[in-house]
Chain A
C-alpha cells in the first residue's frame, strides 16, 4: 500500500499540468472549475446551461484516470467505489468508460455534452480545453 502511495505521489509530481479536461469545440461549455468537474463526474451536476452532460472515464487501471481521480476529484479509488455503490441503490450509474484516448476523442467529437480527460499532447483542433491538471 505504501509503495502504491509513493508511486502515485511520484506520478502526480512528475506529470503535474500535463493533463487536460476537454470537450468538443461545438460544445456550449467554455470553462469549468475543479469543483464543477468533480460534481459532473459524481453526477451531482447534470447540465451546463440546458445541455445534458456526459462525463467519460478511461479504464480503471489507466494512469491518467488515477491522476485525474487524485488531483481533480480529490478522492481515493476505494472512496469513489463506495460512493457508486451507494448510488446504485438510487438508480444512478458511474460515468461510462472508453478503452483508449482515441475512442474517447471520437466520443467527444460525436456526442454533444461529453467531457473527458487526456494527456495534453493528445488534444486536437476539434477539442476545447476546459481545465488543466
Chain B
C-alpha cells in the first residue's frame, strides 16, 4: 500500500506539473528528468485466465556534465495479478533496479556505459516496455536465447571510416545488480554487435557468450536482425542461435543447440491505428521442444504514449493459444 501511494503521488505530481507533456517526462532541470510507465494486461487461454497490473516503473535521468549522464529505472513487475480461474490475487509491490548506469560520451566513435543496461542486441530487445511495442506479447526469441540486461560496461559508437556503421562491445564479470527481472542469471557475459544503417533499413549482426550463474557451462549465441520502415509499413525480423556445451555429469562435452526467430509486419491504417502480424518459432533440440506461433494484433494509440492492444496467438500447441489485451502508458 505504501508503494502504491508513493507511485500515485509521483504520477499525480507529473501530470499536474505546469511544463509536463504526457510521454515526455518532467524536466526538473538539466540534471534531472523524471517519468515512468505502467501497463495492465488481460490474458485468456484454455488453461489460464488472468488480469494483471503488470509493470509499474519510475525513471530518472539527466546530464551531470556535457558528456556524462545517468539513468535509473526502478520497476515492480506483476504488481497485482488476479487469477480469475482460481479466484486469487497476488501482489508484488517491491521495486527492483531494471537499469542504472552512467554514460560517458567521449566522441562520435567512442562512448562508455557502466552499470546495468539493456544488452545491445537486435531491435526487439532495445525497447523493453509494452507501450513502445506493437504487441502485448514478446517473441520467444527475446526471452530464451541471451540475457536481456547486462551489468558491467559497454563501449559503443560509430566506426571512424563509416558513420552509418555502429558498434557495441559489452562485458559483464560480476553478478547482476538486481537479477529479479533478468531472464537469464549470469556472472560472466561478453559480446558485440555491429549495425549498418541505410535509408529505410537497418541490419545488424551480433555474437556473444555467457555462463549461467553457479553453473560451469558457456553458451555461445549469434544472430542477425533486420528492420525496414517506410511510410506506413514496418518490418522487423530477427534470428538467433545458441549452443552450449555441458561441463559436467554424463552429458559432459555434449553440445546443446537452440534457435529462435520471428518476422513481424506492421501496417499503419491511419494515425494511431496499426495492424500487426507476426510469425515466430523456437526449437530447443535438447528437450525436444518445438513451438511455432502466429499472431494477429491491433494497436490503437489515441496519443502516442498510450497504447491499447489486442492480439490472438495461434500456438502449435493448441492449449497455449490465447487472447491478450493490454493498456499501457508512458508518462
Contact = CB atoms under 8 A, between A and B. Distances in A.
Interface in B19-52: 23-25, 27, 33, 35, 37
Nearest to A54: B66
B127 interface: yes
A81 B304 CA distance: 8
Q: Which 4 A-B pairs have the closest CB atoms?
A: A91-B61, A91-B71, A85-B23, A47-B108
A124 B37 CA distance: 45
B7 interface: no
Q: Which interface residue of A78, A84, A89 has the most chain B CB atoms within 10 A? A: A89
A52 B330 contact: no
Contact of A45 (B61, B70, B108, B132): B108
Contacts of B59: 88-89, 91
Given A47-B108, A81-B304, A89-B129, A52 B66 contact: yes
Contact of A85 (B71, B271, B305): B305
Nearest to B111: A46
Contacts of B304: 78, 81-82, 85
Interface residues of A, number: 17
B71 A86 contact: no
A50 B23 CA distance: 32
Contacts of A50: 107
Contacts of A78: 271, 304
A93 interface: yes
B290 to A, nearest CB: 34
Given A89-B37, A91-B69, A52 B129 contact: no
Given A46-B108, A52-B66, A93-B27, A88 B163 contact: no
Nearest to A82: B304
A85 B330 contact: yes
A47 B66 CA distance: 11
A36 to B, nearest CB: 9
B227 interface: no
Contact of B24 (A52, A88, A90, A91): A88
Interface of B: 23-25, 27, 33, 35, 37, 59, 61, 66-67, 69-71, 103, 105, 107-108, 127, 129, 132, 163, 271, 304-305, 330
A49 B105 CA distance: 13
B64 to A, nearest CB: 12
B142 to A, nearest CB: 16
Interface of A: 45-47, 50, 52, 78, 81-82, 84-86, 88-91, 93-94
A52 B67 contact: yes
Given A52-B66, A93-B33, A88 B108 contact: no
Most chain A CB atoms below 10 A, which of B37, B59, B108, B271:
B108
A93 B127 CA distance: 17
A89 B69 contact: no
Contacts of A94: 24
Contacts of A46: 105, 108
A81 to B, nearest CB: 7
Contacts of B108: 45-47
Nearest to B71: A91
A84 to B, nearest CB: 6
Nearest to B129: A89
A46 B305 CA distance: 26
B24 A45 contact: no
Contacts of A47: 105, 107-108
Given A45-B108, A50-B107, A88 B71 contact: no
A86 B103 CA distance: 18
A88 B23 contact: yes
B229 to A, nearest CB: 11
A81 B22 CA distance: 11
A84 B21 CA distance: 11
